[in-house]
Amino acid sequence: MMQELSPVGRFETIVVATDGSEYSAAAETAAVDMAKHCDAQLLVTRVVLTNPEYEALVPDRVQQAESEAQKQIDALASKARAEGVHTETILRHGADPYHEVVRVADEKHADVIVIGRRARSDLARLMVGDSTAKVIGLASCSVLVVPRGTQMPEQAILVATDGSRLGDAAAYSAVRLSRRCSLPLTVITVTPPDGTQEQRAEADAALDRVRKAAETEGIRIDARHEQGRRPDEVITAAAAQCQADLIVVGSHGRTGLSRLLMGSVSERVIGNARSPVLVVKAST
């Protein structure tokens, strides 16, 4: 297991949040694959939805739900161990599953939370899913959002940067993951068609930083400076064009719910992408 000094780009401890549904199946598989590629510890986490009043009224039901949940995460842990992944199971109780998942990640100093994404929709919040959006907003670590029917990348990785500190953090993580998975990397930055010369220069400088970081790691990289009014649409189109089956974007660190990604480029990419999206966090 690697011991990185910087938390950015580190993939040593991975929490996979599962509810046993069809929407968690792809996330479970992706988490096992990521842990295997990164030689990481995997924490299989399930939250039994309950509260003290409910437990007092129907303790038998709670016990049955707990037993079924433990059986499910034990089965996933066994599968991961068969792949050579060091795995633990964590079963929690709570009325708000996303709070419990984030709490586990904090307690275990996790580097990534892996979570499923609900079906696509025309509305940004519905595209991401309320619980998924809350995990992204509350987590202090990065979050990998995995749509149903997808998996960890096998073809290429695309990272979007705007030249900010958050964009650099996303790019650095993408470079490290690209090396771990032995996959080519595309970095894209998007400026408006009527952008200033200063904006274009900053975008080119951001691409140069990523290119140099990739070269240091021995990663093959394609750098693209695109123009468009909707960066999220340009990013997802570029991912399809270069056959990238993982998109990496940056996001603010732990936020209040009023700042929960709504309307941001990151959330729209997460909601519209046909591949997993790694949201790399950086402290605000």
108 and 78 co-located in one domain: yes
Q: Is residue 181 domain-shared with residue 213, that is, in the same domain?
A: yes
Whether 106 and 173 share a structural domain? no
Q: How far apart are CA 243 and CA 261, in angstroms?
A: 26
Task: Check residue 132 and give its pLDDT.
Answer: 78
Rounded to whole angstroms, how far apart are CA atoms 48 and 62? 8
Among 1, 84, 14, 2, which residue's Cα sits nearest to residue 44?
14
In angstroms, the CA 191 to CA 202 distance is 10
18 and 141 within one domain: yes
Considering the domain boundaries, does residue 85 fall inside one? yes
In a domain, 191, yes or no: yes
pLDDT tens digits, 121-137: 444 444 456 677 788 88
What is the pLDDT, as a whole number, of residue 138? 86
Query: Given pLDDT bands bounded at 50, 70 and 90, which one contains residue 256?
Result: very low
How do strand 277-282 and strand 142-147 relate by DSSP bridges?
antiparallel
Angle at Cα 194 formed by Cα 189 and Cα 196, nearest 5°? 75
* Cβ neighbourhood burial of 218 (10 Å; 0-12, 13-18, 19+): exposed
For position 259, what pLDDT does the model report? 44
What is the domain-level CATH number for residue 33?
A: 3.40.50.620
Is the domain of 252 the same as that of 194? yes
How far apart are the C-alpha atoms of 207 and 187, rounded to whole Å? 7
Query: Does residue 165 sit in the same domain as residue 267?
Result: yes
Q: Is residue 152 part of a domain?
A: no
Highest mean pLDDT among 9-18, 104-113, 273-282: 104-113
Q: Does a structural domain hold residue 6?
A: no
233: nearest Cα among 134, 172, 167, 160: 160
pLDDT at 283: 54
pLDDT category of residue 63 using cuts at 50, 70 and 90 = confident
What total number of domains does the chain contain?
2
> Quick one: 84 and 26 in the same domain?
yes
Q: What is the residue range of 71's domain?
A: 13-147
Q: Does residue 263 carry a pLDDT above 70?
A: no
Pair 161, 270 in one domain: yes
| 118, pLDDT greater than 80 | no
Same domain, 266 and 169: yes
5 in a structural domain: no
Please report whether residue 116 resides in a domain: yes
Q: Evaluate if pTM is beyond 0.85.
A: yes
Q: What is the residue whose two structure tokens read 């290429």?
A: 156
Q: Indicate whether 20 and 138 sit together in one domain.
A: yes
Count of CB atoms within 10 A of residue 31's CB?
31
Residue that terminates a domain, selected from 122, 147, 172: 147
Give the residue, 170 or 7, on which the prediction is more confident.
170
166 and 271 in a common domain: yes
User: In the chain, pLDDT over 90 holds for what percent of residues?
Assistant: 58
Q: End of a domain among 119, 147, 175?
A: 147
Residue 69 counted as domain residue: yes
Q: Indicate whether 191 and 262 sit together in one domain.
A: yes
